[in-house]
């Protein structure tokens, strides 16, 4: 789908509240890895609200707030805490809808970020490098004159 997802300013107050009430994992990932273009020079936003248009069989648009997003790469990062144990189906649907718009969703557990942030960083760097290669495929060398 070439259609772009829109920022949902109606959710801005809730997004601000979520930023202020971030989990430790979110704070660690944001402050040590993603903020200020620290992750391979890419800009990430946190607690970013998105409006996903409804599909034919749905009654209303889906309004979501993602933990972190790099709009240039179309990469969403979610940190799943304890509450996500009870909303796996909801998360799966969100991920599917985002993927229809070309977004890749990476999920890490709160525990992974808190206790193994170096591995999380390696996974992020690997995925971003992989995405860069797909977005900017190297042109094969052409024989010169």
38 inside domain: yes
Is residue 136 very low, low, confident or very high in pLDDT (cuts 50, 70, 90)? low
Is residue 2 very low, low, confident or very high in pLDDT (cuts 50, 70, 90)? very low
Instruction: Give dist(CA 86, CA 82) in Å, integer.
Output: 8
pLDDT at 23 over 50: yes
pLDDT at 88 over 80: yes
User: What range defines the domain where residue 98 resides?
Assistant: 6-135
92 inside domain: yes
Q: Which of 73, 67, 65, 64 is nearest to 25 (CA)?
A: 67
Strand boundaries in the chain, DSSP class E? 6-7, 45-52, 62-70, 75-80, 104-109
Which pLDDT value is given to residue 133?
85
Query: Total structural domains in the chain?
Result: 1
- Give the CATH number for residue 46: 3.40.960.10
Phi and psi, residue 100, nearest 5°: -65, -25
């Amino acid at each position: 789908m070439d259609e772009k997802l829109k920022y949902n300013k109606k959710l801005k107050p809730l997004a601000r509240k979520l930023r202020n009430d971030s989990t430790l994992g979110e704070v660690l990932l944001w402050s040590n890895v993603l903020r200020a273009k620290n992750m391979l020079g890419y800009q990430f936003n946190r607690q970013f609200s998105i409006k996903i248009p409804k599909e034919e069989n749905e009654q209303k648009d889906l309004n979501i707030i993602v933990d972190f997003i790099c709009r240039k790469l179309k990469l969403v990062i979610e940190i799943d805490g304890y509450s996500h144990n009870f909303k796996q189906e909801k998360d799966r649907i969100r991920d599917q809808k985002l993927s229809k718009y070309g977004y890749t969703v990476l999920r890490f557990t709160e525990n992974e970020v808190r206790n193994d942030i170096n591995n999380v960083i390696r996974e992020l760097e690997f995925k971003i490098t992989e995405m860069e290669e797909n977005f900017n495929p190297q042109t094969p060398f052409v024989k010169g004159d």
